[in-house]
C-alpha cells in the first residue's frame, strides 16, 4: 500500500462532503477518555484496541508493499473515523433515519474483506473502515429531509449535500466534541486534521518525525515493534 493510499484510507474523516464538521474543546474531560461526542464517550482502551486490530488487518498488505508506519499514525486515523461515525449515528437518531444503500454496500464489502482477517479483529476493522460511508449516507439523508421540510420538492444533489453539511457543522457546536490532545487531531480550516496538539515537547529530529502529518517510514523503522505497524 502506498503512502498516499494509506493516508486516504485512514484519513477520510475530512472528506470534502464533510469538511464542515466542527469540533469544540481541546482535551479529554475525563481520565481514560479518548473522545467525547455528544452523549457518547470512547475510551483510550477502545481506541488502542481498534488501532491494534486495524494494524493487524492491514498487516499483510503493508508487508507485501514494504509499508511501515508509526502506530501513532494509525491511532490518529482511528480517532478521526470513530469521531465521525459517532457524530453520524447521533445525528441519524435525532432525525429518525437509518443508514441506507450507500452504507450497506460498503458494509457488505468490508465484511467480505474482513473474512480474511483473524476473527477477533473483524468487528473493529469493519466499524472503523465503514465510518466514512456511514457519515456520507446519513449526511445525504438528513440533508434531503431538511430540504423537504423546508418545502423543496426536487432538491439538487448540491443542495442536499450543502444542507447535510450545515447539519453536521452545527451539531458539534450544540452537542460538543472533545478529542484528547495526545492523538494530535484538531480542526484546521473546517477539517479534522492531524497536527501537533501533544502536550509534551518534541526534542530532536527523530521526535519531530513522530509528529509528522504523513507517515515517515524511516522514523517508523526506528521504533520498537509494538510502536509501529507493518
For residue 17, what are the CA distances in angstroms to 96, 168, 181? 21, 10, 25
Q: What is the pLDDT of residue 226?
A: 65
Contacts of residues 17-20 at CB distance under 8 Å and 24 or more positions apart, as own/partner, are 17/136, 17/139, 17/161, 17/164, 17/165, 18/84, 18/132, 18/135, 18/136, 18/139, 18/165, 18/168, 19/165, 19/190, 19/191, 20/165, 20/166, 20/168, 20/169, 20/190
For residue 157, what are the CA distances in angstroms to 140, 143, 163, 185? 9, 10, 10, 30
Q: For residue 112, what pLDDT band results from cuts at 50, 70 and 90? A: very high
Q: What is the pLDDT of residue 223?
A: 59
Q: Which of 136, 134, 137, 161 has its CA nearest to residue 147? A: 161
Query: What values do phi and psi take at 212, rounded to 5?
Result: -65, 150
- Of 1-10, 111-120, 124-133, where does mean pLDDT reach its minimum? 1-10
**pLDDT for 137-175, tens place per residue?**
999 999 999 999 999 989 999 999 999 999 998 888 889
Average pLDDT, the chain: 78
Q: What is the pLDDT of residue 48?
A: 95
**pLDDT for 208-221, tens place per residue?**
333 344 566 665 65
Q: Residue 20, CB half-sphere, CA atoms under 13 Å: how many? A: 15
**pLDDT for 46-104, tens place per residue?**
999 999 999 999 888 887 877 788 888 889 889 989 999 999 999 999 999 999 999 99
Instruction: Please report the domains of the chain, with CATH numbers, ordered by start residue.
Output: 3-213 (1.10.4030)
Amino acid at each position: 500500500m502506498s503512502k498516499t493510499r494509506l493516508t486516504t484510507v485512514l484519513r477520510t474523516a475530512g472528506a470534502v462532503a464533510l469538511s464542515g464538521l466542527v469540533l469544540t474543546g481541546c482535551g479529554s474531560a475525563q481520565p481514560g477518555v479518548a473522545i467525547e461526542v455528544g452523549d457518547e464517550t470512547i475510551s483510550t482502551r477502545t481506541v488502542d484496541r481498534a488501532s491494534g486490530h486495524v494494524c493487524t488487518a492491514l498487516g499483510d498488505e503493508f508487508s507485501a508493499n514494504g509499508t511501515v508506519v508509526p502506530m501513532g499514525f494509525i491511532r490518529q486515523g482511528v480517532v478521526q473515523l470513530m469521531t465521525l461515525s459517532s457524530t453520524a449515528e447521533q445525528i441519524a437518531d435525532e432525525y429518525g433515519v437509518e443508514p441506507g444503500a450507500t452504507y450497506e454496500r460498503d458494509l457488505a464489502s468490508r465484511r467480505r474483506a474482513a473474512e480474511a482477517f483473524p476473527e477477533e479483529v473483524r468487528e473493529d476493522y469493519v466499524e472503523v473502515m465503514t465510518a466514512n460511508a456511514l457519515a456520507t449516507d446519513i449526511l445525504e439523508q438528513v440533508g434531503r429531509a431538511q430540504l423537504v421540510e423546508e418545502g423543496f420538492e426536487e432538491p439538487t444533489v448540491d443542495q442536499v449535500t450543502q444542507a447535510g453539511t450545515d447539519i453536521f457543522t452545527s451539531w458539534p457546536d450544540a452537542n460538543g466534541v472533545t478529542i484528547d490532545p495526545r492523538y494530535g487531531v484538531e480542526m484546521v480550516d473546517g477539517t479534522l486534521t492531524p497536527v501537533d496538539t501533544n502536550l509534551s515537547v518534541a526534542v530532536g529530529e527523530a521526535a519531530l518525525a513522530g509528529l509528522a502529518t504523513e507517515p515517515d517510514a524511516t522514523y517508523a523503522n526506528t521504533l520498537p515493534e509494538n510502536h509501529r505497524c507493518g
